[in-house]
Structure 1
Amino acid sequence: MKESRLILALDVYERERALEIAERTAEYLWAVKVNWPLIIGSGLKIITELKQVTGLPIIADLKLADIPNTNRLIASKVFEAGADYVIAHGFVGRESVKAVMELGETIIVVEMSHPGAGEFIQPATDGLIELANELGPFGVIAPATRPERVAYIRSKLRPEIKVITPGVGAQGGKAEEVVKAGADYVIVGRSIYTSKNPRESARRIFEEIKEVV
Protein backbone atom coordinates (compact mmCIF):
# COMPACT_ATOMS: atom_id res chain seq x y z
CA MET A 1 0.00 0.00 0.00
CA LYS A 2 1.31 3.45 -0.92
CA GLU A 3 1.94 5.96 1.84
CA SER A 4 -1.29 7.58 2.85
CA ARG A 5 -2.06 11.27 2.48
CA LEU A 6 -5.25 11.05 4.54
CA ILE A 7 -5.56 12.69 7.96
CA LEU A 8 -8.47 11.79 10.23
CA ALA A 9 -9.96 14.76 12.10
CA LEU A 10 -11.22 13.03 15.22
CA ASP A 11 -13.65 15.69 16.47
CA VAL A 12 -15.51 13.63 19.04
CA TYR A 13 -15.70 13.98 22.84
CA GLU A 14 -15.58 10.37 24.03
CA ARG A 15 -12.23 8.68 24.71
CA GLU A 16 -13.41 5.12 23.97
CA ARG A 17 -15.09 6.12 20.73
CA ALA A 18 -12.03 8.07 19.61
CA LEU A 19 -9.65 5.19 20.29
CA GLU A 20 -11.92 2.67 18.57
CA ILE A 21 -12.33 4.76 15.40
CA ALA A 22 -8.63 5.55 15.25
CA GLU A 23 -7.64 1.92 15.63
CA ARG A 24 -10.12 0.76 12.96
CA THR A 25 -9.03 3.34 10.40
CA ALA A 26 -5.29 3.58 11.12
CA GLU A 27 -4.30 1.38 8.17
CA TYR A 28 -5.52 4.06 5.75
CA LEU A 29 -4.24 7.16 7.56
CA TRP A 30 -1.09 9.23 7.56
CA ALA A 31 -1.98 10.96 10.84
CA VAL A 32 -4.73 11.63 13.35
CA LYS A 33 -5.74 15.23 14.10
CA VAL A 34 -7.20 16.06 17.51
CA ASN A 35 -9.01 19.30 18.22
CA TRP A 36 -10.41 20.99 21.33
CA PRO A 37 -13.58 18.83 21.52
CA LEU A 38 -11.61 15.62 22.07
CA ILE A 39 -9.05 17.22 24.39
CA ILE A 40 -11.80 18.84 26.47
CA GLY A 41 -13.84 15.64 26.54
CA SER A 42 -11.03 13.16 27.19
CA GLY A 43 -8.08 15.12 28.55
CA LEU A 44 -4.62 15.76 27.14
CA LYS A 45 -3.64 12.14 27.73
CA ILE A 46 -5.76 11.17 24.70
CA ILE A 47 -2.84 12.33 22.53
CA THR A 48 -0.56 9.79 24.20
CA GLU A 49 -3.17 7.04 23.94
CA LEU A 50 -3.93 7.65 20.26
CA LYS A 51 -0.23 7.53 19.47
CA GLN A 52 0.09 4.20 21.29
CA VAL A 53 -2.98 2.68 19.61
CA THR A 54 -2.26 3.78 16.04
CA GLY A 55 1.49 4.28 15.86
CA LEU A 56 0.74 7.33 13.69
CA PRO A 57 1.73 10.99 13.95
CA ILE A 58 -0.67 13.08 16.03
CA ILE A 59 -1.55 16.64 15.00
CA ALA A 60 -2.84 18.88 17.78
CA ASP A 61 -5.18 21.32 16.07
CA LEU A 62 -5.29 23.98 18.77
CA LYS A 63 -5.03 26.92 16.36
CA LEU A 64 -2.89 28.72 18.91
CA ALA A 65 -3.39 32.47 18.64
CA ASP A 66 -1.96 34.15 21.72
CA ILE A 67 1.07 36.07 22.91
CA PRO A 68 4.38 34.21 22.60
CA ASN A 69 4.59 33.17 26.25
CA THR A 70 1.07 31.74 26.33
CA ASN A 71 1.60 29.91 23.03
CA ARG A 72 4.82 28.51 24.48
CA LEU A 73 3.15 27.34 27.70
CA ILE A 74 0.37 25.54 25.84
CA ALA A 75 2.55 24.02 23.13
CA SER A 76 5.05 22.74 25.67
CA LYS A 77 2.46 20.55 27.39
CA VAL A 78 0.96 19.37 24.11
CA PHE A 79 4.31 18.28 22.67
CA GLU A 80 5.12 16.68 26.03
CA ALA A 81 1.94 14.59 25.71
CA GLY A 82 3.22 13.19 22.42
CA ALA A 83 1.89 15.48 19.70
CA ASP A 84 4.09 15.49 16.60
CA TYR A 85 2.66 18.70 15.15
CA VAL A 86 0.81 21.70 16.56
CA ILE A 87 -1.36 24.01 14.45
CA ALA A 88 -1.03 27.74 15.13
CA HIS A 89 -2.53 30.89 13.67
CA GLY A 90 -0.13 33.20 11.92
CA PHE A 91 -2.12 36.42 12.23
CA VAL A 92 -0.83 37.05 15.78
CA GLY A 93 2.65 37.58 14.35
CA ARG A 94 5.96 35.84 13.83
CA GLU A 95 7.09 35.87 17.46
CA SER A 96 3.98 33.96 18.58
CA VAL A 97 4.51 31.39 15.83
CA LYS A 98 8.23 31.09 16.55
CA ALA A 99 7.41 30.36 20.20
CA VAL A 100 5.66 27.19 19.04
CA MET A 101 8.22 26.30 16.38
CA GLU A 102 11.03 26.40 18.95
CA LEU A 103 9.35 23.46 20.70
CA GLY A 104 8.39 21.24 17.76
CA GLU A 105 6.96 20.88 14.28
CA THR A 106 4.38 23.54 13.50
CA ILE A 107 1.62 24.02 10.93
CA ILE A 108 0.47 27.58 10.23
CA VAL A 109 -3.08 28.49 9.26
CA VAL A 110 -2.96 30.68 6.15
CA GLU A 111 -6.62 30.23 5.18
CA MET A 112 -9.59 28.36 6.67
CA SER A 113 -12.26 26.22 5.01
CA HIS A 114 -15.52 27.75 6.29
CA PRO A 115 -17.36 30.56 4.44
CA GLY A 116 -16.52 33.13 7.13
CA ALA A 117 -12.82 32.82 6.26
CA GLY A 118 -13.49 35.26 3.43
CA GLU A 119 -14.22 38.06 5.89
CA PHE A 120 -10.85 38.54 7.59
CA ILE A 121 -8.44 35.65 7.00
CA GLN A 122 -8.46 35.40 3.20
CA PRO A 123 -7.55 39.10 2.76
CA ALA A 124 -4.47 38.40 4.91
CA THR A 125 -3.46 35.17 3.15
CA ASP A 126 -0.63 36.67 1.10
CA GLY A 127 1.02 38.03 4.23
CA LEU A 128 0.58 34.71 6.01
CA ILE A 129 2.18 32.89 3.08
CA GLU A 130 5.13 35.29 3.29
CA LEU A 131 5.37 34.53 7.02
CA ALA A 132 5.41 30.78 6.33
CA ASN A 133 8.07 31.17 3.65
CA GLU A 134 10.19 33.16 6.10
CA LEU A 135 9.83 30.82 9.09
CA GLY A 136 9.73 27.46 7.25
CA PRO A 137 7.13 25.45 9.21
CA PHE A 138 6.31 21.84 8.37
CA GLY A 139 3.18 22.97 6.57
CA VAL A 140 0.26 25.34 6.18
CA ILE A 141 -3.51 24.94 6.34
CA ALA A 142 -5.40 25.74 3.13
CA PRO A 143 -9.12 25.24 2.33
CA ALA A 144 -10.20 22.06 0.53
CA THR A 145 -13.55 23.79 0.00
CA ARG A 146 -11.84 26.17 -2.44
CA PRO A 147 -9.40 24.22 -4.65
CA GLU A 148 -8.50 27.34 -6.58
CA ARG A 149 -7.19 28.85 -3.34
CA VAL A 150 -5.18 25.71 -2.63
CA ALA A 151 -3.58 26.03 -6.07
CA TYR A 152 -2.82 29.71 -5.43
CA ILE A 153 -1.31 29.06 -2.00
CA ARG A 154 0.75 26.15 -3.33
CA SER A 155 2.11 28.34 -6.13
CA LYS A 156 3.34 30.97 -3.65
CA LEU A 157 4.85 28.63 -1.04
CA ARG A 158 8.36 27.27 -0.84
CA PRO A 159 8.14 23.75 -2.34
CA GLU A 160 9.28 21.94 0.81
CA ILE A 161 6.41 23.38 2.89
CA LYS A 162 3.45 20.98 2.91
CA VAL A 163 -0.11 22.04 2.08
CA ILE A 164 -2.66 20.43 4.41
CA THR A 165 -6.32 20.80 3.52
CA PRO A 166 -9.40 20.48 5.76
CA GLY A 167 -12.93 20.67 4.41
CA VAL A 168 -13.28 17.43 2.42
CA GLY A 169 -16.58 15.61 2.91
CA ALA A 170 -19.17 17.27 5.13
CA GLN A 171 -18.01 20.78 4.22
CA GLY A 172 -18.22 19.99 0.50
CA GLY A 173 -14.60 19.64 -0.56
CA LYS A 174 -13.58 16.81 -2.90
CA ALA A 175 -10.39 14.84 -2.19
CA GLU A 176 -9.62 14.32 -5.87
CA GLU A 177 -9.97 18.00 -6.72
CA VAL A 178 -7.88 19.29 -3.86
CA VAL A 179 -5.01 16.85 -4.47
CA LYS A 180 -4.96 17.89 -8.13
CA ALA A 181 -4.81 21.50 -6.91
CA GLY A 182 -1.61 20.77 -5.02
CA ALA A 183 -2.56 19.50 -1.55
CA ASP A 184 -0.04 17.19 0.10
CA TYR A 185 -2.45 15.94 2.76
CA VAL A 186 -6.24 15.82 2.99
CA ILE A 187 -8.10 16.16 6.30
CA VAL A 188 -11.45 14.37 6.65
CA GLY A 189 -13.57 14.28 9.79
CA ARG A 190 -17.32 13.77 9.82
CA SER A 191 -17.42 11.69 6.64
CA ILE A 192 -15.37 9.09 8.51
CA TYR A 193 -16.18 9.34 12.22
CA THR A 194 -19.97 9.63 11.78
CA SER A 195 -20.04 6.81 9.23
CA LYS A 196 -21.65 3.47 10.11
CA ASN A 197 -18.40 1.90 8.91
CA PRO A 198 -15.51 4.33 9.55
CA ARG A 199 -12.92 1.86 8.28
CA GLU A 200 -14.65 1.47 4.94
CA SER A 201 -15.15 5.22 4.61
CA ALA A 202 -11.46 5.82 5.30
CA ARG A 203 -10.50 3.12 2.77
CA ARG A 204 -12.70 4.69 0.09
CA ILE A 205 -11.19 8.15 0.54
CA PHE A 206 -7.69 6.68 0.72
CA GLU A 207 -8.27 4.97 -2.64
CA GLU A 208 -9.67 8.15 -4.16
CA ILE A 209 -6.53 10.05 -3.18
CA LYS A 210 -4.24 7.24 -4.32
CA GLU A 211 -5.77 7.22 -7.80
CA VAL A 212 -4.94 10.90 -8.27
CA VAL A 213 -1.45 10.67 -6.77
Structure 2
Amino acid sequence: MTSYKQRIKKIASEKSPLILANDYDDRRQDLESRTIKNIRELHKYLCAIKLNFHVLLPLGQKQIQKITRLAHDSGLQTIADIKLNDIGNTNNVTVETLWDLGFDAVIVNPMMGPENLGNLIKLSHKNEKGVISLCHMSSPEAKVTYELQVGAKKSPLYHMFLEWATKMHSDGIIVGATFPDIVAFCKKKSGGSLNIYSPGIGTQGGDIQKTISAGSDYLIVGRSILTAKDPVSAARSLYELCKN
Protein backbone atom coordinates (compact mmCIF):
# COMPACT_ATOMS: atom_id res chain seq x y z
CA MET A 1 0.00 0.00 0.00
CA THR A 2 1.21 3.53 -0.78
CA SER A 3 1.15 6.64 1.40
CA TYR A 4 -1.89 8.89 1.55
CA LYS A 5 0.04 11.66 -0.20
CA GLN A 6 0.88 9.34 -3.09
CA ARG A 7 -2.65 7.95 -3.31
CA ILE A 8 -4.44 11.27 -3.57
CA LYS A 9 -1.84 12.64 -6.00
CA LYS A 10 -2.36 9.68 -8.31
CA ILE A 11 -6.15 9.99 -8.22
CA ALA A 12 -6.01 13.75 -8.80
CA SER A 13 -3.70 13.29 -11.80
CA GLU A 14 -6.14 10.80 -13.31
CA LYS A 15 -9.29 12.85 -12.60
CA SER A 16 -9.09 16.27 -10.98
CA PRO A 17 -7.91 18.10 -7.85
CA LEU A 18 -11.49 18.64 -6.66
CA ILE A 19 -12.46 17.51 -3.16
CA LEU A 20 -16.13 17.49 -2.22
CA ALA A 21 -16.81 19.11 1.15
CA ASN A 22 -19.85 17.01 2.00
CA ASP A 23 -20.69 19.46 4.77
CA TYR A 24 -24.43 19.95 4.89
CA ASP A 25 -25.46 22.71 7.27
CA ASP A 26 -28.77 21.23 8.39
CA ARG A 27 -29.82 18.44 10.73
CA ARG A 28 -31.94 16.35 8.40
CA GLN A 29 -31.95 12.62 9.00
CA ASP A 30 -30.93 11.59 5.48
CA LEU A 31 -27.24 12.48 5.71
CA GLU A 32 -26.20 8.94 4.87
CA SER A 33 -28.36 8.63 1.77
CA ARG A 34 -27.44 12.11 0.49
CA THR A 35 -23.74 11.39 0.96
CA ILE A 36 -23.99 8.03 -0.79
CA LYS A 37 -25.84 9.67 -3.68
CA ASN A 38 -23.13 12.32 -3.97
CA ILE A 39 -20.39 9.71 -4.14
CA ARG A 40 -22.19 7.68 -6.77
CA GLU A 41 -23.05 10.67 -8.95
CA LEU A 42 -19.98 12.86 -8.54
CA HIS A 43 -17.00 10.54 -7.97
CA LYS A 44 -15.68 10.77 -11.53
CA TYR A 45 -15.08 14.50 -11.04
CA LEU A 46 -13.36 14.20 -7.65
CA CYS A 47 -10.21 12.88 -5.98
CA ALA A 48 -11.60 12.84 -2.42
CA ILE A 49 -14.57 13.52 -0.17
CA LYS A 50 -14.32 15.46 3.09
CA LEU A 51 -16.72 15.07 6.02
CA ASN A 52 -16.84 17.70 8.72
CA PHE A 53 -17.35 17.16 12.46
CA HIS A 54 -21.00 18.23 12.43
CA VAL A 55 -21.77 15.69 9.69
CA LEU A 56 -19.95 12.84 11.41
CA LEU A 57 -21.60 13.31 14.80
CA PRO A 58 -25.15 12.29 13.78
CA LEU A 59 -23.91 9.22 11.89
CA GLY A 60 -23.23 5.85 13.49
CA GLN A 61 -20.16 3.67 13.05
CA LYS A 62 -21.77 1.39 10.46
CA GLN A 63 -23.07 4.36 8.47
CA ILE A 64 -19.66 6.02 8.34
CA GLN A 65 -17.93 2.77 7.37
CA LYS A 66 -20.49 2.24 4.61
CA ILE A 67 -19.74 5.73 3.28
CA THR A 68 -15.95 5.35 3.40
CA ARG A 69 -16.09 1.90 1.76
CA LEU A 70 -18.20 3.24 -1.08
CA ALA A 71 -15.83 6.19 -1.49
CA HIS A 72 -12.86 3.83 -1.75
CA ASP A 73 -14.72 1.56 -4.15
CA SER A 74 -15.43 4.68 -6.22
CA GLY A 75 -11.74 5.64 -6.35
CA LEU A 76 -11.83 8.43 -3.74
CA GLN A 77 -9.78 9.23 -0.67
CA THR A 78 -11.63 10.13 2.53
CA ILE A 79 -10.80 13.06 4.80
CA ALA A 80 -12.13 13.63 8.33
CA ASP A 81 -12.32 17.37 8.92
CA ILE A 82 -12.41 17.59 12.70
CA LYS A 83 -9.57 20.10 13.18
CA LEU A 84 -8.07 17.86 15.83
CA ASN A 85 -6.22 19.73 18.58
CA ASP A 86 -5.46 18.01 21.87
CA ILE A 87 -2.84 16.25 23.96
CA GLY A 88 -0.87 13.39 22.43
CA ASN A 89 -2.81 10.44 23.81
CA THR A 90 -6.17 11.94 22.87
CA ASN A 91 -4.91 12.71 19.37
CA ASN A 92 -3.64 9.14 18.91
CA VAL A 93 -6.86 7.48 20.07
CA THR A 94 -8.86 9.83 17.86
CA VAL A 95 -6.96 9.13 14.65
CA GLU A 96 -6.87 5.39 15.29
CA THR A 97 -10.66 5.46 15.63
CA LEU A 98 -10.95 7.45 12.42
CA TRP A 99 -8.77 4.93 10.60
CA ASP A 100 -11.01 2.11 11.83
CA LEU A 101 -13.92 4.05 10.35
CA GLY A 102 -12.14 4.07 6.99
CA PHE A 103 -10.63 7.55 6.80
CA ASP A 104 -7.39 8.16 4.94
CA ALA A 105 -6.52 11.56 6.37
CA VAL A 106 -7.46 14.00 9.11
CA ILE A 107 -7.43 17.79 9.23
CA VAL A 108 -5.79 19.06 12.42
CA ASN A 109 -5.26 22.35 14.24
CA PRO A 110 -1.55 23.03 14.86
CA MET A 111 -2.39 24.90 18.07
CA MET A 112 -1.67 21.50 19.67
CA GLY A 113 1.99 22.51 19.40
CA PRO A 114 4.85 21.34 17.17
CA GLU A 115 5.81 18.31 19.25
CA ASN A 116 2.25 16.94 19.36
CA LEU A 117 1.86 17.70 15.66
CA GLY A 118 5.10 15.94 14.79
CA ASN A 119 4.23 12.86 16.83
CA LEU A 120 0.79 12.65 15.22
CA ILE A 121 2.27 12.91 11.74
CA LYS A 122 4.82 10.17 12.50
CA LEU A 123 2.11 7.84 13.79
CA SER A 124 -0.08 8.55 10.77
CA HIS A 125 2.70 7.99 8.26
CA LYS A 126 3.62 4.73 9.97
CA ASN A 127 0.09 3.59 9.17
CA GLU A 128 0.08 5.13 5.66
CA LYS A 129 -2.44 7.79 6.65
CA GLY A 130 -2.32 11.55 6.16
CA VAL A 131 -2.35 14.69 8.27
CA ILE A 132 -3.43 18.03 6.80
CA SER A 133 -2.68 21.01 9.04
CA LEU A 134 -4.53 24.32 9.22
CA CYS A 135 -2.48 27.28 8.08
CA HIS A 136 -4.97 30.00 7.04
CA MET A 137 -8.71 29.41 6.66
CA SER A 138 -11.04 30.80 3.99
CA SER A 139 -13.52 32.82 6.05
CA PRO A 140 -13.08 36.61 6.45
CA GLU A 141 -12.72 36.10 10.21
CA ALA A 142 -9.52 34.14 9.58
CA LYS A 143 -7.63 37.42 9.36
CA VAL A 144 -8.44 38.11 13.02
CA THR A 145 -6.62 35.02 14.27
CA TYR A 146 -4.36 33.54 11.60
CA GLU A 147 -2.77 36.93 10.93
CA LEU A 148 -2.10 37.77 14.59
CA GLN A 149 1.45 39.01 15.05
CA VAL A 150 3.38 36.52 17.19
CA GLY A 151 6.93 35.70 18.29
CA ALA A 152 10.03 37.82 18.54
CA LYS A 153 9.81 38.80 14.88
CA LYS A 154 6.11 39.72 15.19
CA SER A 155 5.18 37.77 12.08
CA PRO A 156 1.68 36.45 11.29
CA LEU A 157 0.59 33.32 13.14
CA TYR A 158 0.14 31.42 9.88
CA HIS A 159 3.88 31.82 9.21
CA MET A 160 4.57 29.77 12.32
CA PHE A 161 1.97 27.15 11.35
CA LEU A 162 3.58 26.92 7.91
CA GLU A 163 7.02 26.46 9.45
CA TRP A 164 5.79 23.67 11.72
CA ALA A 165 3.98 21.86 8.91
CA THR A 166 7.06 22.03 6.71
CA LYS A 167 9.44 20.89 9.44
CA MET A 168 7.17 18.03 10.58
CA HIS A 169 6.53 16.81 6.99
CA SER A 170 2.78 17.30 7.06
CA ASP A 171 0.93 15.89 4.06
CA GLY A 172 -0.50 19.29 3.37
CA ILE A 173 -1.83 22.56 4.72
CA ILE A 174 -5.16 24.36 4.53
CA VAL A 175 -5.02 27.81 2.96
CA GLY A 176 -8.25 29.44 1.83
CA ALA A 177 -8.81 30.09 -1.87
CA THR A 178 -10.08 33.50 -0.78
CA PHE A 179 -6.48 34.46 0.04
CA PRO A 180 -4.53 33.64 -3.17
CA ASP A 181 -1.59 35.83 -2.14
CA ILE A 182 -1.17 33.71 1.00
CA VAL A 183 -1.44 30.53 -1.08
CA ALA A 184 1.41 31.81 -3.25
CA PHE A 185 3.48 32.81 -0.21
CA CYS A 186 3.06 29.40 1.43
CA LYS A 187 3.93 27.56 -1.76
CA LYS A 188 7.11 29.58 -2.24
CA LYS A 189 8.14 29.57 1.43
CA SER A 190 7.75 25.78 1.71
CA GLY A 191 9.77 25.26 -1.44
CA GLY A 192 6.84 23.37 -2.93
CA SER A 193 7.28 20.59 -0.38
CA LEU A 194 3.77 21.00 1.02
CA ASN A 195 0.55 20.27 -0.81
CA ILE A 196 -1.93 23.11 -0.39
CA TYR A 197 -5.62 22.36 0.12
CA SER A 198 -7.85 25.36 -0.56
CA PRO A 199 -11.45 25.62 0.66
CA GLY A 200 -13.65 28.60 -0.20
CA ILE A 201 -14.07 27.96 -3.94
CA GLY A 202 -17.26 29.40 -5.41
CA THR A 203 -19.75 30.46 -2.74
CA GLN A 204 -17.12 32.15 -0.56
CA GLY A 205 -15.57 33.87 -3.55
CA GLY A 206 -12.50 31.76 -4.31
CA ASP A 207 -11.64 31.44 -8.01
CA ILE A 208 -10.43 28.07 -9.29
CA GLN A 209 -7.95 29.26 -11.87
CA LYS A 210 -6.48 32.02 -9.66
CA THR A 211 -6.10 29.54 -6.80
CA ILE A 212 -4.39 26.94 -8.98
CA SER A 213 -2.11 29.61 -10.47
CA ALA A 214 -1.21 30.74 -6.95
CA GLY A 215 0.00 27.22 -6.15
CA SER A 216 -2.89 25.28 -4.65
CA ASP A 217 -2.81 21.52 -5.29
CA TYR A 218 -6.32 20.55 -4.15
CA LEU A 219 -9.55 22.53 -4.28
CA ILE A 220 -12.21 21.92 -1.63
CA VAL A 221 -15.72 22.70 -2.85
CA GLY A 222 -18.95 22.37 -0.88
CA ARG A 223 -21.97 24.61 -1.28
CA SER A 224 -21.29 25.43 -4.94
CA ILE A 225 -22.07 21.79 -5.63
CA LEU A 226 -24.34 20.77 -2.75
CA THR A 227 -26.82 23.63 -3.14
CA ALA A 228 -26.85 23.68 -6.95
CA LYS A 229 -30.07 22.79 -8.75
CA ASP A 230 -28.04 20.22 -10.67
CA PRO A 231 -25.05 19.11 -8.53
CA VAL A 232 -23.70 16.86 -11.29
CA SER A 233 -23.66 19.72 -13.78
CA ALA A 234 -22.04 22.01 -11.19
CA ALA A 235 -19.33 19.45 -10.44
CA ARG A 236 -18.73 18.90 -14.14
CA SER A 237 -18.33 22.64 -14.74
CA LEU A 238 -15.81 22.97 -11.93
CA TYR A 239 -14.01 19.89 -13.25
CA GLU A 240 -13.70 21.51 -16.67
CA LEU A 241 -12.32 24.72 -15.15
CA CYS A 242 -9.61 22.67 -13.44
CA LYS A 243 -8.55 21.30 -16.81
CA ASN A 244 -8.22 24.71 -18.48
Band of TM-score, shorter chain: over 0.9
Deviation per residue, 1:85-136 (Å, 9 max, x gap): 1111112202222343213310011111111111122321111111011100
**Aligned mate of 1:61, from 57, 73, 81:** 81
Percent identity at matched positions? 34
TM-score (norm 1): 0.93
Which consecutive unaligned segments of at least 5 residues does structure 1 have?
A: none
Which of 88, 95, 101 is the equivalent residue of 2:108?
88
Q: CA deviation at 1:9?
A: 0.1
Equivalent residue runs for 1:95-174 within 5 Å = 95-101=115-121, 102-103=123-124, 104-122=129-147, 123-174=156-207
CA contact under 8 A between 2:79 and 2:103: conserved in structure 1?
Answer: yes
Q: Please list, as runs of the form range in 1=range in 2, the aligned pairs for 1:4-23 lying within 5 A after superposition.
A: 4-12=16-24, 14-23=31-40
User: CA offset at residue 41 of structure 1?
Assistant: 2.2
For 1:184, the equivalent position in structure 2 comes to 217
Larger Rg: 2
SS in 2 for 1:115: coil
- The alpha-carbon distance between structure 1 residues 158 and 71, as it changes in their structure 2 partners (threshold 3 A), is farther
Distance 1:164 1:46, change over 3 A: farther
Q: 1:44 & 1:52 partners in 2: Cα distance?
A: 12
TM value normalised by structure 2:
0.82
Kindly report the root-mean-square deviation, in angstroms, between the aligned alpha carbons of the 2 structures.
1.6
Aligned counterparts of 1:93 and 1:175: Cα–Cα separation in 2: 32
Aligned counterparts of 2:64 and 2:198: Cα–Cα separation in 1: 21
Q: Distance in 1 between matches of 2:61 and 2:204?
A: 27
CA distance in 2, matches of 1:25, 1:174: 20
Which residue type is aligned with residue 196 of structure 2?
V
Alignment check: 8 A CA contact 2:106 2:131 kept: yes
Alpha-carbon distance in 2 for matches of 1:100, 1:199: 36
Query: Per-residue deviation at 1:2?
Result: 4.3
**Residue 40 of structure 1: CA displacement?**
1.3
**Which string of whole-angstrom CA distances, capped at 9 and with x for unpartnered residues, describes residues 39-79 of structure 1?**
01223444422232232100111100111221112111001
Q: Do the aligned residues in 2 keep the contact of 1:89 with 1:108 (CA within 8 Å)?
A: yes
Matching of residue 30 in structure 1 with residue 55 in structure 2: no
